[in-house]
Amino acid sequence: MHCALYDTGRCRSCQWLKTPYPAQLSHKQSYLETLMTPFDVAEWRQPQPSDQQGFRNKAKMVVSGSVERPLLGIMHGDGRTVDLCECPLYPASFAPVFASLKPFIARAGLTPYNVARRRGELKYILLTESRDSGAMMLRFVLRSTLKLAQLRSALPWLREQLPHINVISVNIQPVHMAILEGEEEIFLSDEQVLAERLNQVPLWMRPGSFFQTNPSVAATLYASARDWLADLPIHTMWDLFCGVGGFGLHCATPEMSLTGIEINAKAISCARRSAHELGLDKVRFTALDSAAFATGKEQAPDLVLVNPPRRGIGAELCRWLDNHAPRWILYSSCQAESLAKDLSRLERYKISRVQLFDMFPHSSHFEVLVLLTLS
Ligand SMILES: C[S@@+](CC[C@H](N)C(=O)[O-])C[C@H]1O[C@@H](n2cnc3c(N)ncnc32)[C@H](O)[C@@H]1O
Ligand code: SF4
């Protein structure tokens, strides 16, 4: 893939950009196979490739420069800022939004936050697109509510320019640190959630809840989970670290009892809404810590699906799973090293199937789906 920003040294975020894409995939696959050497893998599926560009549904732009000439992009460690509006990882539909946002920032007088001087108001612009409908969610991360009234009164102009932005909000992040978002979210639109649909399953995105950033590959990942489970006699299932419910809602059948557990209550409200739309009445989604939920139970379901953050599921949950022995575990991981560590703790399981999903092209990262069967 060609990136002028990379070639001119302005952005080097994609460390593997100069490696041809097929070689990127085979490097990732060989690395994964090396990590899995201690385990006996019954079946390897072919890696799932990604589109090489335009695959992201989300932009997190640091705002810098001046109010008349804002830059939307990244800040390097030395404080240098670079405009990334032409980053080829974003879909073509993002360019007109960035083009309208720049004059809007001037109209609303949203002075970019200057980290060195600790002055200014607008810190980040967060833009998310529904791949299904093309509708978008736009969030302004501000240092305080000082410019909120100005932003509100300039907003009709922006809405006229960009009528497909359904959800607009302001996040207040008063802390002077590299933290992206604060606790307080103020909605400026009637809509507070953005509808997505992957494989005909309705999903909802909302500020602050996790959603996969490569929706095409996420759709193949969820569909694979559903296909892998389709032939197994599963009556009861848990989806731990479920986010807005993508895995569980793909895998659940009307007869199956599904419990989804996630720490973020807003994500849980999205998952409940999807289950209701699908007419799944044996599905429960609850906001809890996954390990605390599992360790409070006497009995495991037929299958436990886990999709943890990069740190993995950890020793306590592995111990509980190994002791309570669900017949199957389906583990989706975005960090192969923590996955390998967790697999070594699940001593009673054999590895039935493994597949790599290239969620993050041009970087060393990838997603892996592993089916474990009780020995
Ligand atoms: C990799 S994301 C996966 C989300 C979801 N399965 C999906 O497909 O989008 C990990 C999720 O775990 C949640 N999480 C983090 N720590 C948790 C915990 N201790 N207990 C439950 N959920 C947690 C995060 O909020 C996040 O939604
Ligand atoms: S993140 Fe975008 S701009 Fe930066 S190197 Fe990758 S493709 Fe180029």
- pLDDT in 10s for each residue of the chain, 375 residues: 899 999 999 999 999 999 999 999 999 999 999 999 999 999 999 999 999 999 999 999 999 999 999 999 999 888 889 999 999 999 999 999 999 999 999 999 999 998 888 899 999 999 999 999 999 999 999 999 999 999 999 999 999 999 999 999 999 999 876 677 899 999 999 999 999 999 999 999 999 899 999 999 999 999 999 999 999 999 999 999 999 999 999 999 999 999 999 999 999 999 999 999 999 999 999 999 999 999 999 999 999 999 999 999 999 999 999 999 999 999 999 999 999 999 999 999 999 999 999 999 999 999 999 999 999
Sheet strand arrangement including 303-306: 283-287, 257-262, 236-240, 303-306, 328-333, 367-374, 349-357
Residues in the chain: 375
For residues 74 and 11, is the Cβ–Cβ distance under 8 A? yes
Token reading at 211: 């959603």
Measured from the alpha carbon of residue 11, the closest ligand is 2
The residues that bridge with 332 in the sheet, in sequence order, are: 369
Substitution site in 12, 13, 76 for ligand 2 pocket (most atoms within 8 Å of beta carbon):
13
The answer to whether the annotation marks 212 as part of a ligand binding site is yes
Residue 180 is predicted with a pLDDT of 79
Q: What is the chain's mean pLDDT, rounded?
A: 96
Kindly report the pTM of this predicted structure. Answer: 0.96
Choosing from 85, 242, 251, 334, the catalytic residue is 334
**CB distance 263 to ligand 1 below 6 Å:** yes
Token reading at 231: 């032939």
The answer to whether the annotation marks 129 as part of a ligand binding site is no
Using CA atoms, how far residue 82 sits from 11, 52, 93, 125, 166, in Å, is 7, 22, 20, 14, 28
Domains of the chain and CATH, by start: 4-52+214-374 (3.40.50.150), 58-193 (2.40.50.1070)
For residues 330 and 225, is the Cβ–Cβ distance under 8 A? yes
Residue 177 is predicted with a pLDDT of 65
Residue 123 is predicted with a pLDDT of 95
The answer to whether the annotation marks 160 as part of a ligand binding site is no
Taking the C-alpha atoms of 257, 351, 310 and 299 in order, what is their torsion angle to the nearest 10 degrees? 40
**CB distance 357 to ligand 1 below 6 Å:** no
Residue 330 is predicted with a pLDDT of 98
* pLDDT tens column, 317-367: 999 999 999 999 999 999 999 999 999 999 999 999 999 999 999 999 999
The residues that bridge with 184 in the sheet, in sequence order, are: 172
Residue 212 is predicted with a pLDDT of 96
* pLDDT tens column, 94-123: 999 999 999 999 999 999 998 888 899 999
Which of ligand 1's atoms lies nearest the C-alpha of 246?
Answer: 8
